[in-house]
Structure formats: C-alpha cells, structure tokens
Amino acid sequence: MTMPPQADPAARAWQILEAIPDPEIPVLSIVDLGIVRELHWDGRQLQVAITPTYSGCPAAELIHKQVEHALAAAGFDGALVSEVLSPAWTTDWISEEGREKLRQYGIAPPELGSGRRALFGSELAVHCPRCASQRTNCVSEFGSTPCKAQYRCLDCLEPFDYFKCL
C-alpha cells in the first residue's frame, strides 16, 4: 500500500468505512450502526472487526464483502476483516448521529438502554419521527425489514417504522 507519509492509515480507513451504507437502511453507514467494532493498523496490515446486527441478518455477508472491497479499492490490500459475535450487537451501539439520521429519514430510533425494556416486556414509548408525539401505537411487529416494526402516530396520523430494540 502506498500512502503519503503524513496520512494516518487508521483515520483514512475509518473514513472509508463511514462511507459504506447499510444495505437495508442506506441513510446509515455501517459505522453509524456500530457494526464496525474495531480497527487496527499495525504498520503493515489493517484489521477490522465487524459485528452483524443479529446472527440471522441477511445483509451480514454483503456488509463483509463491501468492507473488503472498499478497503481494497482504497489501497488496503490484504485487509483482514473478521466477524465478532460476542458480545452481541445492540441498538445501544447506534451513534447519536445515526439516531438523528434515522429520525430525519422517518424511522423512529430505539431509545438508549431499550434492549432491557424490550426483553422484560415493559411498555415502550415510541416517539413519532415526524411530529415527536408519544401518542403512537404499534400496527405490526413486522416492518419493511426484520429489524423494524410498523407504527402509527395518533396525532399526525402518519405511519412510520420503528427500529426495534435488540
């Protein structure tokens, strides 16, 4: 790999990964989602650890290939991309910027720490991403992708997706 001496390879690699969109929610990058767990440059080889959003994620293999391809295209030949399954990914890993991107896109982001509430069945207050109302109800636990549920706002009457807590 040839790079100018002043360039920081790790910072450059992070920028490359921040440009890779999630295949199911393209408004988010894989970095926004917290899928990229770790990045290490040892002076010769780049190592990237990624965690799928869940073990059955249909996009996991595609994301792995996108990472390899984007890094190779940027000159990181032979980058080692590995999958880390423990600890399991959680919606708490979505960045604040990613949460805001979801809202602007019309998807209600999960609340921080909501995985525990979802696990133990507590009532969840989902804010409408359009008008911010808490007066919403779940129309279907199954949305446009496995990680989303379909909701409706009782104030503005708009339907919207909710990113499920995992």
Does residue 24 lie in a domain region? yes
Does residue 23 lie in a domain region? yes
| Structural domains of the chain, count | 2
Does residue 70 lie in a domain region? yes
Does residue 91 lie in a domain region? no
The reply to whether 79 and 121 lie within a common domain is: no
Task: Enumerate the H helices of 48-93 as residue ranges.
Answer: 60-73
> Given this model, what pLDDT does residue 17 score?
97
The reply to whether 14 and 73 lie within a common domain is: yes
**Sheet of strand 46-50, all strands in order from the earlier edge strand to the far edge:** 36-41, 46-50, 80-83
Does residue 22 lie in a domain region? yes
CATH of the domain at 69: 3.30.300.130
> Given this model, what pLDDT does residue 73 score?
96
For residue 30, the tally of other CB atoms under 10 A from its CB is 22
Query: What span, in angstroms and rounded, lies between the C-alpha atoms of 48 and 41?
Result: 9
Query: What span, in angstroms and rounded, lies between the C-alpha atoms of 45 and 31?
Result: 20
For residue 115, the tally of other CB atoms under 10 A from its CB is 17
Amino acid making up residue 39: L
The reply to whether 79 and 108 lie within a common domain is: no
Per residue in 38-85, pLDDT tens?
999 998 899 999 999 887 788 899 999 999 999 999 999 899 999 999
Does residue 36 lie in a domain region? yes
First to last CA, the chain: 38
The reply to whether 49 and 108 lie within a common domain is: no
Does residue 96 lie in a domain region? no
If you average pLDDT over every residue of the chain, what do you get?
Answer: 88
Per residue in 133-165, pLDDT tens?
999 999 998 887 778 899 999 999 999 999 887
Does residue 4 lie in a domain region? no
The reply to whether 144 and 79 lie within a common domain is: no
Region of poorest pLDDT, from 18-22, 49-53, 109-113: 109-113
Nearest 5°: phi and psi at 35? Answer: -70, -35
Helix (H, G, I), strand (E, B) or coil at 67: helix
Q: Of 50, 83, 116, which residue is a domain's last?
A: 83
Could you give the angle at which helices 60-73 and 9-18 cross, rounded to 10 degrees? 130
The reply to whether 68 and 110 lie within a common domain is: no
Strands annotated E in the chain: 36-41, 46-50, 80-83, 107-108, 136-140, 148-153, 159-163
The reply to whether 27 and 56 lie within a common domain is: yes
Q: What percent of the chain has pLDDT over 70?
A: 90
Give the domain extent around 25: 9-83
